[in-house]
């Protein structure tokens, strides 16, 4: 690295460190003053800013990767406003200390669990839902009483700049601060002793985040991804399945961590399902999806090239194109909804998370083989099952492990404010959203108060009546 590069890196480190130091300096005062009213007011300011900035949010996401206006509203703005509304309405209850009944050994005491802020938090956001996934975790952090530094994705620069401006309008920098930039900014932030780190992104980067957190023993929430399967049983409503799968897969051009990665469909209905899915793609995106205003672009040329390479490699290896993108004819960062079949395990498309509008269709005849296939790989972030037979769905739910399950739907579980959202194993660590997000950004501190505990009767010296009482306690407690 030349002198200019070293100086630039040092400047980045100084900028991030100064923001961190300002938030740490205000931690003691914030602990006393950032009460229920102050937290609700902070969330209200964020809500009002999101509403005021809505036209510019739509414009920024269109500029970054041609995201349709309706998808911006449905997947970026409304979920965030719902998260704020849910937090403000329930915050008093979440903050209230919880009573815990005494055990036999602690009879005569009063036990409470008091949620308290973790402290200074770092939120590293991804590019695929760059607005909502930057500010959604911030809602939980503020609700729990923390300060936060937010690092948006550099791959969506217009949205990143907008987030920085919005946050400056809402909050003092010792409460919330946005740091923009690339890998060097993330590395500078991860070198600091944050109290909690919330990361959304790939498992590969998630490992680096967890390693950095370990150096300071910081707690982490990791929202990762994986190859989320769809299982379509012989009793599925094909029209419903096709509609939900098409929406879940091709919204945001497939660039969604919980999008269906591949479809496992029973052989008896596979031709009919493929026909229904083709019809649904045509209904949603027209005869020429590349010309549709309702289909987002791929975020960068590099990501588009990766998807074309995955598709070309599969077709060269014997996969068959059912409908959609010819990799040689793809236009820039746009790729049409694409269905393929006859994929094999050695193909890269079977080994990597696709994260784009390419959907392999795989037949099965034995549900047991489907279960074995799911269990043989890393645990997915989401698993989707379509069938009218609840027993079919129940068997797959019971015999597999995944971050979440959707039955006769895709992706909607993310929007349920009362459900935790998160992965397991390679697909993530720690729940988010609503009360679960509040708890992720809180330390649940136990407080035990002595009222009339009899335990001093058992204090040393351990002779005479004390020895007899200890023997009686041992018999009583087993």
- What pLDDT is recorded for position 26? 83
* Same domain (yes/no): 66, 162: yes
Closest CA to 36 of 114, 86, 88: 88
How does the average pLDDT of the chain come out, rounded?
A: 94
Residue 452 lies in a domain: no
- SS3 for 17-41, per residue? HHHHHHHHHCHHHHHHHCCHHHHHH
Angle, helices 54-65/36-52, rounded to nearest 10 degrees: 60
**pLDDT tens for each residue of 173-218:** 999 999 999 999 999 999 999 999 999 999 999 999 999 999 999 9
- What pLDDT is recorded for position 327? 64
Instruction: Report how far residue 167's alpha carbon sits from residue 39's, in angstroms, rounded to the nearest whole number.
Output: 15
Q: Tokens 């973790």 — which residue?
A: 118
- What pLDDT is recorded for position 11? 80
Residue 276: domain span: 232-422
Active site residues: 223, 257
* Same domain (yes/no): 434, 405: no
Residue 407: burial class (beta carbons within 10 Å; 0-12, 13-18, 19+) = middle
What the block records as the tokens of 59 is: 């414009």
Percentage of the residues of the chain whose pLDDT score is greater than 70: 97
* Same domain (yes/no): 173, 261: no
Residue 468 lies in a domain: no
Q: What is the CATH number of the domain that holds 348?
A: 3.40.309.10
28 pLDDT band (50/70/90 cuts)?
Answer: confident
Q: Tokens 């019809």 — which residue?
A: 279
* Same domain (yes/no): 162, 258: no
Residue 220 lies in a domain: yes
Average pLDDT estimate for 67-92: 98
Instruction: Report how far residue 473's alpha carbon sits from residue 478's, in angstroms, rounded to the nearest whole number.
Output: 8
Residue 458 lies in a domain: no
Average pLDDT estimate for 150-170: 98
Closest CA to 423 of 441, 436, 438, 409: 436
pLDDT for residue 1 is more than 60: no
pLDDT for residue 5 is more than 70: no
Counted domains in the chain: 2
**∠ Cα 314 316 321 (to 5°):** 60
- What pLDDT is recorded for position 8? 59
* Same domain (yes/no): 289, 418: yes
104 pLDDT band (50/70/90 cuts)?
Answer: confident
Instruction: Report how far residue 55's alpha carbon sits from residue 69's, in angstroms, rounded to the nearest whole number.
Output: 9
* Same domain (yes/no): 130, 261: no
13 pLDDT band (50/70/90 cuts)?
Answer: confident
Higher pLDDT, 407 or 476: 407
* Same domain (yes/no): 372, 438: no
pLDDT for residue 297 is more than 80: yes
- What pLDDT is recorded for position 398? 98
Instruction: Report how far residue 54's alpha carbon sits from residue 61's, in angstroms, rounded to the nearest whole number.
Output: 11
Average pLDDT estimate for 277-301: 95
Count of CB atoms within 10 A of residue 352's CB?
Answer: 12
* Same domain (yes/no): 213, 252: no
Residue 92 lies in a domain: yes
What the block records as the tokens of 37 is: 């009213």
**pLDDT tens for each residue of 126-149:** 999 999 999 999 999 999 999 999
Higher pLDDT, 8 or 387: 387
* Same domain (yes/no): 201, 241: no
pLDDT for residue 293 is more than 60: yes
* Same domain (yes/no): 145, 205: yes
Q: What is the CATH number of the domain that holds 104?
A: 3.40.605.10
Q: Which residues contact 375 (CB under 8 A, 6 or more apart)?
A: 399, 400, 401
- What pLDDT is recorded for position 6? 54
- What pLDDT is recorded for position 263? 98
**pLDDT tens for each residue of 442-466:** 999 999 999 999 899 889 998 888 8
- What pLDDT is recorded for position 7? 54
pTM for this structure? 0.94
Average pLDDT estimate for 67-75: 97
* Same domain (yes/no): 279, 167: no
Helix (H) or strand (E) holding 119: none
Least confident of 36-45, 70-79, 107-116, 318-327: 318-327
What the block records as the tokens of 365 is: 């005849």
2 pLDDT band (50/70/90 cuts)?
Answer: low
* Same domain (yes/no): 209, 345: no
Helix (H, G, I), strand (E, B) or coil at 201: coil
Higher pLDDT, 284 or 32: 284
Residue 459 lies in a domain: no
Contacts of 205-208 with CB under 8 Å at 24 or more apart are 206/428
- Helices within 96-192 (DSSP H only): 132-143, 157-170, 183-190
Instruction: Report how far residue 141's alpha carbon sits from residue 196's, in angstroms, rounded to the nearest whole number.
Output: 10
Average pLDDT estimate for 401-414: 97
DSSP secondary structure of 423-434:
--GGGEES-BSH
- What pLDDT is recorded for position 101? 95
pLDDT for residue 10 is more than 80: no
């Amino acid at each position: 690295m030349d002198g200019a590069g070293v100086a630039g890196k040092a400047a980045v480190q100084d900028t991030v460190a100064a923001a961190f130091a300002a938030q740490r300096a205000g931690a003691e005062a914030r602990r006393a003053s950032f009460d229920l009213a102050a937290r609700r007011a902070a969330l209200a300011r964020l809500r009002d800013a999101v509403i005021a900035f809505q036209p510019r949010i739509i414009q920024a996401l269109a500029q970054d990767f041609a995201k349709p206006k309706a998808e911006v509203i449905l997947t970026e703005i409304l979920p965030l406003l719902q998260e704020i509304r849910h937090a403000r309405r329930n915050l008093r209850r979440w903050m209230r200390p919880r009573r815990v009944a005494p055990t036999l050994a602690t009879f005569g005491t009063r036990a409470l669990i008091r949620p308290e802020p973790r402290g200074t938090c770092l939120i590293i956001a991804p590019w695929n839902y760059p607005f909502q996934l930057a500010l959604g975790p911030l809602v939980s952090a503020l609700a729990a009483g923390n300060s936060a530094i937010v690092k948006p994705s550099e791959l969506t620069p217009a949205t990143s700049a907008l987030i920085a401006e919005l946050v400056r309008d809402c909050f003092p920098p010792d409460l919330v601060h946005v740091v923009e930039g690339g890998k060097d900014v993330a590395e500078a932030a991860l070198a600091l002793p944050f109290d909690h780190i919330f990361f959304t992104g790939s498992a590969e980067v998630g490992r680096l985040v967890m390693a950095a957190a370990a150096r300071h023993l910081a707690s982490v929430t990791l929202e990762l991804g994986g190859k989320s399967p769809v299982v379509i049983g012989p009793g599925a409503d094909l029209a419903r399945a096709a509609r939900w799968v098409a929406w879940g897969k091709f919204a945001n051009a497939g660039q969604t961590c919980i999008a269906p990665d591949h479809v496992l469909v029973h052989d008896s209905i596979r031709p009919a399902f493929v026909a229904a899915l083709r019809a649904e793609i045509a209904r949603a995106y027209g005869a020429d999806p590349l010309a549709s205003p309702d289909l987002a672009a791929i975020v960068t040329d590099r990501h588009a090239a990766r998807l074309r390479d995955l598709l070309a490699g599969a077709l060269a290896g014997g996969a068959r194109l059912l409908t959609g993108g010819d990799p040689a004819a793809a236009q820039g960062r746009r790729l049409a909804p694409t269905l393929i079949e006859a994929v094999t395990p050695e193909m890269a498309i079977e080994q990597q998370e696709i994260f784009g509008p390419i959907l392999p269709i795989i037949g099965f005849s034995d549900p047991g083989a489907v279960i074995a296939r799911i269990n043989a790989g890393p645990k997915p972030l989401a698993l989707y099952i379509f069938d009218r037979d609840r027993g079919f769905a129940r068997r797959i739910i019971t015999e597999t492990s995944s971050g979440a399950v959707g039955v006769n739907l895709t992706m909607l579980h993310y929007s349920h404010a009362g459900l935790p959202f998160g992965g397991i194993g390679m697909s993530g660590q720690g729940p988010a959203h609503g009360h679960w997000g509040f708890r992720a950004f809180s330390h649940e501190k136990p407080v035990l108060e002595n009222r009339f505990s009899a335990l001093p009767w058992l204090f040393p010296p351990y002779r005479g009546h004390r020895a007899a009482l200890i023997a009686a306690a041992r018999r009583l407690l087993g």
